[in-house]
Amino acid sequence: MSLFLPYSDDTLIQVDNIHGHPFVSHLAGILMRTFSNHQPLPVSAHTMDQSPASLFESYSHDFQQLVNKLTFQLETESKGLTGEPLKALIRRSEAELEEGEEIISQMEVELPSIPQSIRSKYTLNFKSYKAQLEKLRKQFRDAKQAVLRSDLLGNTDASLRDDPYSDSPTDYSQRTRLLQGTERLADGSRRLEESHRLALETESVGADILRNLRGQREQIEHSRDVLASADTSIDRASGTLKKMIFRMYQQHFLTYGIIAILVFLIIIVVWGKLKG
């Protein structure tokens, strides 16, 4: 009897005489060990029902399991751990927190698709889940800071225990690192002081620039007032000139009229004398 087994995505291998074949025996052992270490998955209504509400319920179930696990790790399991085991627990908790954030994002995607009549209940649950996740984030940050603080204090204590008169290479290396750290701190302090001095100088230059700008603004405003006054004077002078020109034309017309009348009278007088 022959058996075809998958070897890769597009390749099958044929095994002849499967009874007693070493490959088949090895494969059967692997399958038995695999299924003996895994419990069968329960078949529930959520497995078949893919409605938004059912998916939300499924995510809620997964999230609650994750919350319970993280709570146990951060509040109970971490109390008795130190050193590398505690760091491993922190890294595992960080990965599970990221998984929780992913579940929350999936819930947020499914929430608008839930019918309006039952959405309010799921909205309240969603807000509660977000609050639980935020609480776990805070506990994780506190635990992580405790680990960092413990490492720092451990390194400091080790440095303080160094014997300054010891000839040990390890003690010498630690003293050297301590001196280098002190030099770096002093250098950082000098740089901070220099930066502070430059900031004060920059502030002084900025204040001078602002004062100059204020003075220039006052000059510009004064020039604008002078220009406005000059504009008013020019308008007044223009009106006066227009009146003078009008009166000049009026006097010219009057003079021409008087001359015309005199010429007419002279003509009449001369014509009367010539006729008489």
Tally of domains within the chain? 1
Asked if residue 35 is part of any domain, the answer here is no
Range of the domain at 73: 52-159+186-234
Q: What is the mean pLDDT of the segment spanning 75-97? A: 78
pLDDT the model gives residue 159: 45
9-18, 181-190, 208-217, 232-241: segment of lowest average pLDDT:
9-18
Q: Which residues pair with 3 in a beta bridge?
A: 15
Q: Name the residue with higher pLDDT: 206 or 89.
A: 206
CATH classification of the domain holding 146: 1.20.58.400
pLDDT tens per residue across span 177-194? 788 888 888 888 888 988
pLDDT the model gives residue 213: 92
Asked if residue 261 is part of any domain, the answer here is no
pLDDT band of 48, cuts 50, 70, 90 = very low
pLDDT tens per residue across span 192-230? 988 988 999 898 898 889 989 988 999 999 899 999 888
Asked if residue 267 is part of any domain, the answer here is no
Asked if residue 17 is part of any domain, the answer here is no
Six-digit token string for 11: 């390749």
The pTM of the full predicted model, rounded to 2 decimals, is 0.38
C-alpha 41/C-alpha 27 separation (Å) is: 22
Asked if residue 229 is part of any domain, the answer here is yes
Asked if residue 57 is part of any domain, the answer here is yes
C-alpha 246/C-alpha 91 separation (Å) is: 99
Asked if residue 72 is part of any domain, the answer here is yes
